A and B are shown apart, each in its own frame.
Chain A
Amino acid sequence: MAENPFGGDRPDEEAPPEPRAAETLDPATLLSRSDNLRRRQLVSRFVTASQTASALLAVAVLCTVVYSVASRGASVLSLDFLTKNPPEIGHPGGGIAPALVGTGVLIAMATAIAAPMGILVALYLTEFAGRRSQPALRLAIDLLNGLPSIIVGLFVFGLLVVGHHQSGFAAAFALSIVILPLIARATQEVLLLVPSSLREAADALGVSHWRTVLGVVLPTASGGILTATILAVARAAGETAPLLLTSTIFAPGVSLNPFSHEGLSSIPFYIFTASEEADRFGFARAWGAAFVLLMFILLANIGGRAISRRSMVSR
């Protein structure tokens, strides 16, 4: 008799309802294998197998996507591809230089806005916020994090584009809103891991608060903050929706100026437009662009994780 103590199994024929109390049974029967036990172990093994299968499925999907992109994109890759302008629709050859440069400018700007802001917000959360303001601010950051990037795009469109014009700055600003909560949240996690003994040592030496923060807390957490920033850069590099509303009209050539009267070209937007046009040369270039973007993002992820694992304070 093996009445399951966890309510996991429905009682069936083998477990008659009368002898519920174990003391009415000979203890030896509890130790002998019953059909019910075999069934429970079978169920358990089946569930374990399906869990393993789920994990393998996820890894398989990752491999499939990466392989699809690599097998189609790697052959397109060449120096010309990285340094030339795209040709007109329907023509082969050409490259993605404007998109590559544009994405570089956009993520540099977005990070320049979001990283200091995010670190300051995280510092406020861990160093200054009171018992009441801390949960409120954390909720705000989490809400910001949960907002779809297309909504952020609408916001920036209404704020900076309506009545003015598209610009690389508007796009970078939108990207910075998308990654600000990522940096703030991850930095906060790292700051919480800074050993309190370090702070206490600084306090005991009479060091003022701001010097403790700048001289002890931030340097100790720098590895984790760097990781957070790298992951945020990777996220910003692939973000498309905000660009769709802020930076879709641009000159055909390479542009470095985010404040001109036009937007900046970008890799995600390039892939998006190519996917909407039935042009097989465009598809080929888009696969190449996707390969470049995906490699950048995967390497940034691997690198970021490696840094956080090596640094003293890791997530």
Chain B
Amino acid sequence: MSVGTRFAGPAASGARSRGRAADRIGDGVLRGLCLIASALAVLAIGAIVYQVAHGASPAISRFGLSFLTHSTWQPNFERFGAGVLLYGTAVTSFATLLLAVPIGVSIALYLSMVAPQRLRGVIGPLVEMLAAIPTVILGFWGILVFGPFLQAHVEPFLHSAFGFLPIFGGAQTTGTGLFNATLILTIMVVPIIASISRDLFLTVPQELKDGATALGATRWEVIRGVVIPSAASGVVAATFLALGRALGEAIAVTQVIGAGNAIHTSLFKTGDTLASRIADQFPSAITKLHIGSLFYLGLILLVIELVANIGAQFIGRRFDVGRGLAQ
């Protein structure tokens, strides 16, 4: 409106002030809308914490902190404890990171340093597409295709080759269990680590890499001496984000982990995680205490997730790692 009003005579001054007023209102409205949307997004976090804690209150008042250490879970007897689930969550998440970090970082290095330019544009999106597969499809595939394959080929092999390690016990009758869940989770989080790390590695200044090469370093020495150290905190942050994903995945894990109620050292046996127990039992939970206990699991998970994510943001504050998850 204000465009061209410079030459307007007194007759147009009314229109000009009306235009100014409209602009003021427009600015205010837009600013207000943005502010409201942002405030809602921030409030949502508080509301989520409140609702989950509120839902968990029957179980918290009944069991208190002993919920964390007890390992019986018997809905019919109103006895609930998260011990087995905490163990299952810890084992699957740890084993997932053990597999996914080296593979993810390797892929990131391949995409940022090794692959020819034309292949990068093909393989990069393909790896990211792996993250786009819905977890329910991955879990369904995990039960019907991957599980039987593991049970028939991989588990007997690992048992015969590394059977002296208690984690590789005898093969079970089905392919469901902690091992299957770990591998499915690995498939889910490798793309996260790979795409965040690749973006970080690409930001390492070319002069540093060239300098190292000029000093006679091989490609691996450039990677070890220059690329990884300068992006290390970002890779750690990416690992925390991946950990958050692995801890919180409910659907695919429920499908392939077998809903066990005991602690086994063998990875081939069944188990359960916090998130998968919620997904498994919530639709059929009826009693207040059962629902409350599932909410309690959610509260534990929520606290761990917030710590992992804030940790990731803090460690990776030099980099903008959060955008990696949004892709």
B18 at the interface (CB under 8 A from A): no
Hey, which bits of chain A sit against chain B, CB under 8 A?
2, 4-9, 40-41, 43-44, 47-48, 50-52, 54-55, 57-59, 61-62, 65, 68-69, 116-117, 120-121, 123-125, 127-129, 136-152, 154-155, 157-159, 162, 177, 180-182, 184-186, 189, 205-211, 213-214, 231, 234-235, 237-241, 244-245, 248, 268, 271-272, 274-276, 283, 286-287, 290, 293-294, 297-298, 301, 305, 315
Which one of A2, A55, A298, A305 contacts B115 once the chains associate, using CB atoms below 8 Å?
A: A55
In the assembly, what is the distance between CA of A69 and CA of B139, in Å? 12
The yes or no answer to B82 lying at the interface (CB within 8 A) is no
**A54 contacts which chain B residues (CB < 8 A)?**
102-103, 106-107, 110
Q: A229 vs B173: C-alpha distance in the bound complex, in angstroms?
A: 44
Stretch at the interface among B22-30, B62-70, B158-166: B22-30
Q: In the complex, are the beta carbons of A124 and B35 less than 8 A apart?
A: yes
Taking CB atoms, residues of chain A closer than 8 Å to B302 are 147, 151
Q: Is the beta-carbon distance between A272 and B212 smaller than 8 angstroms? A: no
16 more CB-based (< 8 A) A-B contacts, given A59-B127, A186-B326: A54-B102, A58-B127, A65-B133, A143-B310, A146-B244, A148-B248, A150-B278, A151-B298, A154-B295, A159-B47, A206-B3, A208-B27, A235-B132, A238-B136, A241-B250, A286-B140
Interface residues of B in 309-326 (CB under 8 A from A): 309-310, 312-313, 322-323, 325-326
If over half of B's interface residues share one DSSP class (helix, strand or loop), that class is named, otherwise mixed; here it is helix
B250 and A294 form a contact (CB under 8 A):
no
CB contacts (< 8 Å) of A205 on chain B: these are 3
Q: How long is the Cα–Cα vector from A155 to B302 in the complex, in angstroms?
A: 11
Sort A-B residue pairs by CB-CB distance and give the 9 closest, nearest first: A148-B248, A238-B134, A6-B225, A185-B326, A124-B34, A120-B37, A208-B23, A142-B322, A44-B218
Whether A297 and B326, one on each chain, are in contact in the complex, defined by CB atoms closer than 8 angstroms, is no
Q: CB-nearest residue of chain A relative to B190?
A: A58
B10 contacts the other chain (CB 8 A)? no
Which residues of chain A have C-beta atoms less than 8 A from B45's C-beta?
A: 140, 143-144
Bound CA span A245–B130, Å: 26
Query: Which chain B residues border A138 with CB–CB below 8 Å?
Result: 322
- A295 CB to closest chain B CB, in angstroms? 11
Q: Using CB atoms, name the residue of chain A closest to B255.
A: A275
Partner of A140, one of B42, B106, B223: B42
The smallest C-beta distance from A61 to any residue of chain B, in angstroms, reads 6
Which chain A residues lie closer than 8 Å to B125 at the CB level?
301, 305
Q: Judge whether A240 and B23 touch: CB under 8 Å.
A: no
A232 to B261, CA, bound (A): 36
Interface residues in chain B, defined as those with a beta carbon under 8 Å from any beta carbon in chain A: 1-3, 23, 26-27, 29-31, 33-38, 40-42, 44-45, 47-48, 51-52, 54-55, 102-103, 106-107, 109-111, 114-115, 123, 125-130, 132-141, 143-145, 187, 190-191, 194, 212, 215-226, 241, 244-245, 247-251, 255, 275, 278-279, 282-283, 294-295, 298, 301-302, 305-306, 308-310, 312-313, 322-323, 325-327
In the complex where A6-B224, A244-B282 touch, is A239 in contact with B218 (Cβ < 8 A)?
no
Within the complex, the shortest CB–CB distance from A136 to chain B, in Å, comes to: 8
Point out the residues of chain A lying under 8 angstroms from B109, CB to CB: 51
Q: How far, in angstroms, from A235 to B325 measured CA to CA in the complex?
A: 12
Q: Are B137 and A238 in contact (CB under 8 A)?
A: yes
**Given the complex of chains A and B, what is the CA–CA distance between A54 and B197 in angstroms?**
14
Contacts of B29 in A (CB 8 A): 210
Query: Which residue in B126, B224, B250, B278 is a CB contact (below 8 Å) of A62?
Result: B126
Q: How far is the CA of A140 from the CA of B294 in the complex (A)?
A: 25
A97 to B106, CA, bound (A): 43
CA distance A51 to B312 in the complex (A): 25
Is A142 touching B309 in the complex (CB atoms < 8 A)? yes
